[in-house]
């Protein structure tokens, strides 16, 4: 990915640390103090420490790695599915000396968080899913983010209220120049490796209920990527509370403080319980 | 001596009865198929096939079909079906399937089998093109663009092995795991039909094609991009693989229209060229390049290269730009001859593809006119005095008649027989002759102890 890295980078760009785990190099951003929270990005919003991350870090030890093939993490050729990524995240926790953590993720990251919990239940204190990908809800398909026209992003991701300088996915060369375009194209390719073949995992229907973890589902009132029925189904399967915030699929950047506070309040509660 | 240039007619079979490109997001993936009127298509497909069949009598070297899905730009979904039709309607012209989109199919052996069948039934006239499929076709098929390149090469290698090595064998690959590879039939042309691979000029593709000594087909690009690609191809052949490429390894898709005068040709070609580039080729980036179809690095190189060279999108070019930059050739026979002469001299063109014939929304009569003038006024200029296509001066891969077959090959190695109860074999060809079949006991032979 070194060719496509830019000096300026996306909005809120920061240089990551780099950690060698499990035969891969993961870019890692970490800040804050408190309960450890492994936060997993989705198919976009990489290479940054956004106000949402910063707000979380006011009350938690936020560990935000980038999956192979996303942002600043190179992709070894053997990383071809979500299990590979989950096992690398587990190796990361081992390397950081963290036994049990809280897990949260956005979109595809929420799906990966669920996979992590299913494969490593003993390592997870709680599970928070934000506008999660991963379920098939009949008649309510998640939008095809891989074919979306960049001209529709303000509508699709931000429900008409864009946050300046935050452009997901493959935009036109004019949106951030060729370097940013290529970087976003790379992220989308990373996501396609993990979820192109099936945009959902039917096994989640059977594998989520037995988790028995403290769980939180957060959705947006006007999410045009993940229909509301998905949040509801996740809440049922996880036996979780569900919260709806205003905004679109990009609610963690549209409403960073409210989103972060919902999560950290929940962590405190889960910890006290 | 081989001819100085081969001429192949490439038919995309577009469905042009759609709104203008300006009113469309794309001619791929999302264009509603309610625009497709089957009774109109019946007429179109029939015209299109008739045009290709006519190329044999006009004297072209080859006729070419290809595979595209869910779009109005090219409506041949199943090129091997069309090739079968063409094989039945012709007897001399080469038939190219350029190509089968290998990664879009679950089992590459299906392609190996169908091409072998076509090769046999056509008397060894098949050219087998192997392609990845357009990026848009990954949106339309559910196949994964991130593994497409790997699957392409593995599928290709599997097909080549299936054609050239004795079966059965086991294939254990990264993407295909087939315990018993043993296709019947095997192709007629030995060791296999000629292989063509198209490209837009990327070094990786050119290197892979040069390495295997296949033919490289430059898709629709400008003169200078073609020149650069061919120079690179020759350089890689010579310096990396130590051989001099033959002209037949360098083909170029160059839509061509010839008419009585330059002015007449330009007037007749203009609307159909402009439909093709403005509407037929309207494919936005988010359709053309699904994530992972290329690497981020390669995407960045491409974008920067295009920006540096000032390359425009197809649908942003004017007719004059298309002519001036050599995307297309249009003019009187003399003008067209001179254009091809320059391509031979400047970059060693060996095969002109789309060289006269259909393009875009061209009506049937205009295609036939183009074909006839090309055949009579342009092609002979590049041919040996006999005017024949190169392959017609060579022995055919299989005899054309039973008599020639018997004279040249005698009988097949094995004769079919029925093993009789006493262990002797009754030849089935003679088994109805009383003197021979007399007393034949057709109960199974006794089980061996």
Say yes or no for a CB contact (<8 Å) between B146 and A149: no
Write out chain A residues lying below 8 Å of B307, CB-based.
173, 178
Q: Is the pLDDT of residue A13 over 70?
A: yes
Q: Is the pLDDT of residue A5 over 70?
A: no
Say yes or no for a CB contact (<8 Å) between B304 and A183: no
At A265, the pLDDT band (50, 70, 90 cuts) reads: very high
Q: What percent of chain B has pLDDT above 90? A: 92
A3 touches chain B (CB under 8 A): yes
Domain annotation covers residue A8: no
3-state SS, residue A188:
helix
Q: Name the residue facing B299 among A185, A191, A197 (closest C-beta).
A: A185
Residue predicted with more confidence, B367 or A179: B367
Q: What percent of chain B has pLDDT above 70? A: 99
The pLDDT tens digits of the residues spanning B282-340 come to: 999 999 999 999 999 998 888 888 888 888 888 899 999 999 999 999 999 999 999 99
Write out chain A residues lying below 8 Å of B139, CB-based.
144, 146-147
User: Residue A165's pLDDT is what?
Assistant: 80
User: Residue A46's pLDDT is what?
Assistant: 94
Q: Is the pLDDT of residue A266 over 50?
A: yes
Residue predicted with more confidence, A180 or B429: B429
The pLDDT tens digits of the residues spanning B179-209 come to: 999 999 999 999 999 999 999 998 999 999 9
Per the structure, the count of domains in chain A is 1
User: Residue A171's pLDDT is what?
Assistant: 55
Identify the closest residue of chain A to B28 by CA–CA distance.
A147
Domain annotation covers residue A6: no
Write out chain B residues lying below 8 Å of A146, CB-based.
139, 290-291
Quote the domain boundaries for residue A208.
17-272
Distance from C-alpha of A211 to C-alpha of A198, rounded to nearest angstrom: 23
Q: Select from B26, B28, B142, B146 the residue whose CB has the most chain A CBs within 10 Å, as the one to mutate to test that interface.
A: B146
Say yes or no for a CB contact (<8 Å) between A178 and B303: yes
The pLDDT tens digits of the residues spanning B21-58 come to: 999 999 999 999 999 999 999 999 999 999 999 999 99
Q: Select from B29, B292, B310 the residue whose CB has the most chain A CBs within 10 Å, as the one to mutate to test that interface.
A: B292
Write out chain B residues lying below 8 Å of A194, CB-based.
none
Instruction: Locate all alpha helices (DSSP H) within B67-135, ordered by sequence.
Output: 79-89, 108-121
A170 touches chain B (CB under 8 A): yes
Q: Is the pLDDT of residue A149 over 50?
A: yes
Q: Select from B138, B283, B296 the residue whose CB has the most chain A CBs within 10 Å, as the one to mutate to test that interface.
A: B296
Mean pLDDT for all residues in chain A: 93
At A173, the pLDDT band (50, 70, 90 cuts) reads: low
Instruction: Give the H or E element holding residue A129.
Output: strand A124-130
User: Residue A18's pLDDT is what?
Assistant: 98
Domain annotation covers residue A234: yes
Distance from C-alpha of A126 to C-alpha of B323, rounded to nearest angstrom: 65
Tell me if A36 sits within 8 A of A27, measured CB to CB.
Answer: no
Q: Name the residue facing B300 among A3, A190, A196 (closest C-beta).
A: A3
- State ipTM: 0.92
Tell me if B9 sits within 8 A of B57, measured CB to CB.
Answer: no
Distance from C-alpha of A126 to C-alpha of A145, rounded to nearest angstrom: 28
- How far CA A210 is from CA of A114, A117, A239, A266, in Å, comes to 12, 11, 10, 20
User: Residue B35's pLDDT is what?
Assistant: 98
A174 touches chain B (CB under 8 A): no
A81 touches chain B (CB under 8 A): no
Average pLDDT of span B67-95: 97
Identify the closest residue of chain B to A197 by CA–CA distance.
B144
At B388, the pLDDT band (50, 70, 90 cuts) reads: very high
Say yes or no for a CB contact (<8 Å) between B146 and A189: yes
Domain annotation covers residue A256: yes
- Name the residue among B29, B18, B20, B26 with its Cα closest to residue B70: B29
Start-to-end CA span in chain B (Å)? 65
Report the gap between the CA of B303 and the closest CA in chain A (Å). 7
Distance from C-alpha of B411 to C-alpha of B404, rounded to nearest angstrom: 12
Q: Name the residue facing B145 among A144, A170, A192 (closest C-beta).
A: A192
Q: CATH code at A109?
A: 3.40.50.1820
Report the gap between the CA of A216 and the closest CA in chain B (Å). 31
The pLDDT tens digits of the residues spanning A235-249 come to: 999 999 999 999 999
Q: Select from B175, B291, B316 the residue whose CB has the most chain A CBs within 10 Å, as the one to mutate to test that interface.
A: B291
Write out chain A residues lying below 8 Å of B316, CB-based.
none
The pLDDT tens digits of the residues spanning A209-231 come to: 999 999 999 999 999 999 999 99
Write out chain B residues lying below 8 Å of A196, CB-based.
144-146, 291-292
A140 touches chain B (CB under 8 A): no
Residues 230-269 of A with CB under 8 A from B: none
Say yes or no for a CB contact (<8 Å) between A186 and B296: yes
A149 touches chain B (CB under 8 A): yes
Domain annotation covers residue A9: no
Say yes or no for a CB contact (<8 Å) between B286 and A182: no
Average pLDDT of span A260-267: 97
The pLDDT tens digits of the residues spanning A63-88 come to: 999 999 999 999 999 999 999 999 99
Distance from C-alpha of B382 to C-alpha of A198, rounded to nearest angstrom: 53
User: Residue A175's pLDDT is what?
Assistant: 66
At B357, the pLDDT band (50, 70, 90 cuts) reads: confident
Distance from C-alpha of A60 to C-alpha of A75, rounded to nearest angstrom: 29
Write out chain A residues lying below 8 Å of B289, CB-based.
170, 185
Identify the closest residue of chain B to A169 by CA–CA distance.
B291
The pLDDT tens digits of the residues spanning B227-286 come to: 999 999 999 999 999 999 999 999 999 999 999 999 999 999 999 999 999 999 999 999
Write out chain B residues lying below 8 Å of A189, CB-based.
145-146, 291-292, 295-296
User: Residue A4's pLDDT is what?
Assistant: 45
Average pLDDT of span B363-382: 98
């Amino acid at each position: 990915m070194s060719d496509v890295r830019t000096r300026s980078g996306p909005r809120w760009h920061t240089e990551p640390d780099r950690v060698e785990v499990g035969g891969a190099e993961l870019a890692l951003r970490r800040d804050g103090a408190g309960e450890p929270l492994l936060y997993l990005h989705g198919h976009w919003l990489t290479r940054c420490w956004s106000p949402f991350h910063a707000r979380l870090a006011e009350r938690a030890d936020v560990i935000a790695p980038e999956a192979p093939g996303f942002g600043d993490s190179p992709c070894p050729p053997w990383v071809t599915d979500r299990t590979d990524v989950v096992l690398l995240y587990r190796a990361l926790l081992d390397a950081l000396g963290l036994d049990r953590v809280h897990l949260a993720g956005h979109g595809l990251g929420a799906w990966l968080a669920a996979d992590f919990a299913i494969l490593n239940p003993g390592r997870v204190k709680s599970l928070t899913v934000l506008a999660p990908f991963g379920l098939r809800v009949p008649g309510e398909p998640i939008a095809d983010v891989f074919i979306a026209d960049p001209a529709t992003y303000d509508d699709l991701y931000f429900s008409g209220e864009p946050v300046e300088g935050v452009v997901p996915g493959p935009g036109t060369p004019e949106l951030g120049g060729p370097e940013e375009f290529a970087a976003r194209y790379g992220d989308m390719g990373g996501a396609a490796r993990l979820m192109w073949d099936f945009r959902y995992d039917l096994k989640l229907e059977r594998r989520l209920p037995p988790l028995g973890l403290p769980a939180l589902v957060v959705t947006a009132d006007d999410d045009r990527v993940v229909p509301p029925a998905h949040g509801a189904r996740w809440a049922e399967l996880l036996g979780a509370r569900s919260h709806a915030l205003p905004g679109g699929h990009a609610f963690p950047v549209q409403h960073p403080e409210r989103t972060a506070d919902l999560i950290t309040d929940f962590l405190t509660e889960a910890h006290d319980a | 001596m081989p001819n100085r240039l081969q001429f192949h007619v490439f038919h995309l079979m577009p469905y042009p009865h759609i709104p203008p490109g300006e009113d469309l997001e794309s001619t791929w993936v999302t264009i509603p198929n309610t625009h497709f009127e089957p009774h109109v298509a019946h007429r179109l497909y029939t015209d299109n096939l008739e045009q290709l069949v006519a190329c044999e009598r006009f004297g072209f070297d080859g006729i070419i079909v290809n595979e595209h899905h869910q779009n109005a730009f090219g409506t041949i979904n199943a090129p091997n079906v069309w090739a079968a039709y063409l094989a039945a309607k012709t007897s001399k012209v080469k038939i190219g399937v350029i190509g089968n989109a290998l990664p879009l199919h679950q089992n590459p052996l299906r392609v190996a089998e169908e091409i072998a069948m076509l090769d046999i039934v056509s008397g060894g006239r098949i050219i087998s093109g192997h392609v990845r499929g357009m990026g848009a076709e990954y949106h339309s098929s559910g196949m994964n663009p991130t593994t497409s390149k790997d699957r392409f090469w593995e599928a290709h290698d599997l097909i080549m092995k299936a054609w050239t090595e004795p079966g059965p064998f086991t294939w254990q690959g990264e993407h295909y795991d087939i315990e018993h590879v043993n296709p019947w039939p095997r192709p007629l042309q030995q060791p296999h039909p000629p292989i063509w691979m198209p490209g837009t000029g990327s070094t990786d593709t050119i290197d892979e094609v040069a390495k295997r000594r296949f033919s490289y087909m430059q898709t629709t690009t400008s003169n200078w991009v073609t020149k650069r690609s061919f120079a690179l191809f020759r350089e890689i052949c010579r310096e990396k693989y130590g051989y001099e490429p033959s002209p037949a390894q360098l083909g170029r898709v160059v839509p061509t229209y010839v008419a009585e005068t330059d002015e007449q040709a330009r007037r007749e070609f203009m609307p159909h060229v402009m439909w093709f580039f403005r509407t037929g080729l309207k494919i936005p980036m988010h359709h053309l390049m699904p994530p992972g179809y290329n690497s981020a690095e390669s995407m960045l190189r491409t974008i920067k290269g295009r920006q540096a060279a000032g390359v425009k999108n197809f649908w942003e070019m004017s007719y004059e730009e298309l002519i001036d930059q050599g995307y297309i050739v249009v003019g009187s026979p003399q003008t067209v001859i001179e254009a091809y002469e320059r391509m031979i001299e400047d970059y060693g063109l060996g095969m002109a593809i789309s060289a006269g014939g259909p393009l875009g929304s061209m009506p049937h009569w205009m295609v036939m006119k183009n074909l006839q003038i090309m055949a009579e006024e342009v092609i002979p200029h590049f041919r040996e005095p006999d005017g024949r296509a190169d392959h017609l001066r060579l022995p055919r891969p299989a005899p054309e008649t039973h008599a020639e077959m018997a004279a040249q090959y005698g009988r097949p190695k094995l004769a079919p027989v029925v093993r009789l109860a006493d262990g002797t074999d009754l030849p089935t060809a003679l088994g109805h002759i009383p003197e021979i079949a007399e007393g034949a006991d057709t109960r199974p032979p006794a089980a061996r102890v």
